[in-house]
């Protein structure tokens, strides 16, 4: 399906465990590493596999096909994937097939076959739309270790040509390879140039009340430390028409919260030129039935005042903005190729602080980037004080393949990175202790997300994205996915505690039992 054909959805059978049930023998297991983008990619991959007649299972032992959707943003994440592959290598003898999807797949490409020869499928996120064809190949052709004659008609149908004993590939998007006629490996390694988005007819959303919609894929910003532009391809947006069609479908199915996703969600450019990002936000917020709209991650360079104006004007837009700063030092921001200064970043913070609604602000910080001095680090700490974030996701700099930062001198020793991280987290903890105290005595609307039996508390999430655990009288049993008003009585550095005041805001349409809609 092309981007312009728009997005269509159907509901297929679901069950209580989140595993779509189909009467089929083909089974798969999928494990996901990394960010929300990866989680949502996996929801779409599951939808695609179910559509192809597969049934999701909950353990590697039960599966015919074992897939890992990988993350390579930091070294540790990447290592986990190879450990998993090594752990389960012995299962190949039972005829199980292995696939590596996502960022590690794109980054390492065919090298994965050398490091883990039992892998049959390597597919980067920019090639997910070709998954159905790749699955056909995987099923129709024996996998690694089997001898296969390559059928030229079959290859032609995939846009490939056969040259002698080798397979000459005419389409990097979906490759079938033979090596000395002994091996069939399937790769989907679309390069940065693809301008196609992964729009699926089916998405196996794992939560029936709130769900993600990807509006923009890839990244063109090339920060000096980051692999994303190399692993996820160039920046490409979906049409606003297609995004809104998906939002309406979700609302029809009972979803009340939508989170718009993109590596840089606010770099969104409608290919049809109909809506700016702020206008799209407002339009999703105005879809009947939608009560909350979130968006992540925003990039400071593309963060305009119109986004703040939209939050002020449309009550369904959540009063929370995640705006990664990375460093409080303009010198480091320059070295990181972020292309904004501390002052420009603070200007955007000032717009949010001037809003009528109280906007909660969160950020990402990297400590120990090459060349970061004590003075640079002190500037990051002072920025935390100045902004007063509600949460900070802090990371030690991790050197990544292909990135320009690899060439920089003055690497910071690991122990020093750890020390700075500890200092930063302690400072932010103090800031949060003070900030969260301010909520005591206020009323917040929460979406009810669960129940903690042991603590006798319900788990709620506020529009500002804070966890607000609350107690309720025995007679009141808030439904998961409903909305309730809670009086805040206590605070912790990362969460609030309160008492249910009014469960009357519960939506009737949310009363359905926890299940897993496959949209």
**Facing residues of 161 across strands?**
168
163: Cβ–Cβ under 8 A, 6 or more apart, which residues? none
DSSP 403-421: -GGGG-S-PPPHHHHHHHH
Nearest residue to 322 via CA among 258, 387, 240 = 387
Binding track over 345-384 against ligand SAM, x by CB under 6 A: -------------------x-x------------------
Instruction: Name the E strands within 384-493.
Output: 391-396, 443-452, 457-462, 467-471, 483-491
Interface pick for ligand SAM out of 33, 98, 340, 397 (rule CB under 6 A):
397
Closer residue to ligand SAM in complex, CB, 88/397: 397
The entry of ligand SAM, ligand SF4, none near residue 222 (CB within 5 to 8 angstroms by kind) is ligand SF4
Closer residue to ligand SAM in complex, CB, 72/162: 72
Nearest residue to 125 via CA among 214, 78, 188 = 188
Residue with nearest beta carbon to ligand SAM: 324
**What number of other Cβ atoms are within 10 A of residue 39's Cβ?**
15
Binding track over 34-63 against ligand SAM, x by CB under 6 A: -x----------------------------
Closer residue to ligand SAM in complex, CB, 35/500: 35
The entry of ligand SAM, ligand SF4, none near residue 229 (CB within 5 to 8 angstroms by kind) is ligand SF4
Closer residue to ligand SF4 in complex, CB, 208/229: 229
Output the six-digit token pair for 102. 């996502």
What is the C-alpha to C-alpha distance for residues 507 and 288, in angstroms, rounded to an integer? Answer: 13
The entry of ligand SF4, ligand SAM, none near residue 74 (CB within 5 to 8 angstroms by kind) is ligand SAM
Closer residue to ligand SAM in complex, CB, 134/424: 424
**Looking only at residues 198 through 257 of this chain, which bind ligand SF4 when binding is defined by CB under 6 A?**
219, 221-223, 226, 228-229
Q: Are 152 and 159 in contact (CB under 8 A)?
A: no
Total binding residues for ligand SAM by CB under 6 A?
18
- Long-range CB pairs of 13-16 (<8 Å, 24+ gap) are 13/518, 14/515, 14/516, 14/517, 14/518, 15/515, 15/516, 16/513, 16/514, 16/515, 16/516
Nearest residue to 359 via CA among 313, 312, 299 = 312
**Looking only at residues 322 through 341 of this chain, which bind ligand SAM when binding is defined by CB under 6 A?**
324, 326
Report the nearest approach of ligand SF4 to the CB of residue 48 (Å).
Answer: 24
What is the C-alpha to C-alpha distance for residues 29 and 15, in angstroms, rounded to an integer? Answer: 16
Total binding residues for ligand SF4 by CB under 6 A?
10
Closer residue to ligand SF4 in complex, CB, 44/322: 322
What are the backbone angles phi and psi of residue 240, rounded to the nearest 5°? -65, -30
Report the nearest approach of ligand SAM to the CB of residue 68 (Å).
Answer: 18
Q: Are 51 and 202 in contact (CB under 8 A)?
A: yes
Examine residue 299 and tell whether it contacts ligand SF4 (CB under 6 A): yes
Closer residue to ligand SAM in complex, CB, 96/338: 338
Report the nearest approach of ligand SAM to the CB of residue 207 (Å).
Answer: 22
Output the six-digit token pair for 295. 């968006």
The binding site for ligand SF4 (CB under 6 A) comprises 219, 221-223, 226, 228-229, 263-264, 299
The binding site for ligand SAM (CB under 6 A) comprises 35, 73-74, 225-226, 228, 263-264, 297, 299, 324, 326, 364, 366, 395, 397-398, 400
């Amino acid at each position: 399906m092309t981007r312009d054909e728009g997005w269509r959805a159907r509901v297929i059978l679901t069950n209580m465990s989140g595993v779509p049930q189909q009467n089929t023998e083909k089974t798969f297991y999928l494990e996901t590493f990394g960010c929300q983008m990866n989680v949502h990619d996996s929801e779409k991959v599951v939808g695609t596999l179910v559509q192809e007649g597969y049934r999701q299972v909950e353990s590697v032992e039960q599966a015919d096909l074992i897939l890992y959707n990988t993350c390579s943003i930091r070294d540790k994440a990447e290592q986990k994937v190879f450990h998993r592959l090594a752990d389960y290598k012995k299962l190949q003898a039972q005829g199980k097939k292995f696939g590596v999807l996502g960022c590690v797949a794109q980054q390492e490409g065919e090298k994965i076959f050398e490091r883990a020869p039992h892998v049959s499928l390597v597919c980067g996120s920019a090639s997910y739309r070709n998954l159905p064809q790749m699955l056909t190949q995987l099923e129709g052709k024996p996998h690694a270790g089997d001898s296969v004659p390559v059928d030229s008609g079959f290859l032609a149908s995939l846009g490939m040509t056969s040259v002698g004993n080798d397979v000459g590939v005419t389409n990097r998007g979906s490759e079938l390879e033979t090596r000395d006629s002994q091996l069939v490996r399937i790769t989907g390694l679309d390069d940065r140039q693809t301008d196609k988005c992964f729009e699926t007819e089916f998405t196996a959303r794992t939560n029936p009340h709130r769900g993600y919609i990807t509006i923009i894929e890839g990244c063109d910003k090339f920060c000096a430390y980051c692999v994303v532009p190399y692993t996820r391809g160039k920046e490409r947006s979906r049409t606003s028409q297609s995004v809104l069609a998906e939002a309406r479908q979700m609302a029809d199915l009972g979803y009340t919260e939508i989170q718009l996703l993109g590596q840089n969600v606010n770099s969104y450019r409608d290919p049809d030129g109909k809506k700016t990002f702020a206008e799209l936000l407002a339009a999703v917020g105005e879809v009947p039935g939608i009560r909350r709209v979130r968006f992540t991650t925003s990039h400071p360079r593309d963060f305009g005042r119109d986004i703040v104006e939209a939050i002020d004007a449309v009550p369904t837009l959540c009063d929370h903005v995640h705006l990664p700063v990375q460093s409080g030092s303009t010198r480091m921001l320059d070295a990181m190729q972020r292309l904004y200064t501390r002052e420009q970043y603070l200007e955007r913070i000032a717009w949010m602080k001037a809003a009528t609604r109280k906007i909660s602000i969160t950020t990402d910080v990297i400590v120990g980037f090459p060349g970061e001095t004590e003075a640079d680090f002190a500037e990051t700490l002072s920025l935390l004080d100045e902004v007063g974030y509600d949460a900070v996701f802090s990371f030690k700099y991790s050197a990544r393949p292909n990135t320009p930062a690899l060439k920089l001198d003055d690497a910071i020793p690991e122990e020093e990175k750890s020390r700075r991280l500890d200092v930063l987290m302690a400072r932010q903890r103090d800031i949060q202790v003070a900030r969260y105290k301010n909520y005591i005595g206020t009323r917040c609307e929460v979406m009810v997300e669960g129940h903690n039996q042991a603590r006798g508390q319900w788990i709620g999430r506020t529009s500002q994205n804070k966890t607000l655990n609350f107690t309720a009288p025995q007679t009141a049993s808030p439904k998961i996915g409903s909305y309730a008003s809670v009086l805040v009585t206590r605070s912790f550095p990362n969460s609030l505690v309160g008492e249910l005041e009014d469960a009357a805001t519960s939506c009737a349409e949310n009363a359905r039992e926890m299940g897993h809609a496959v949209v």
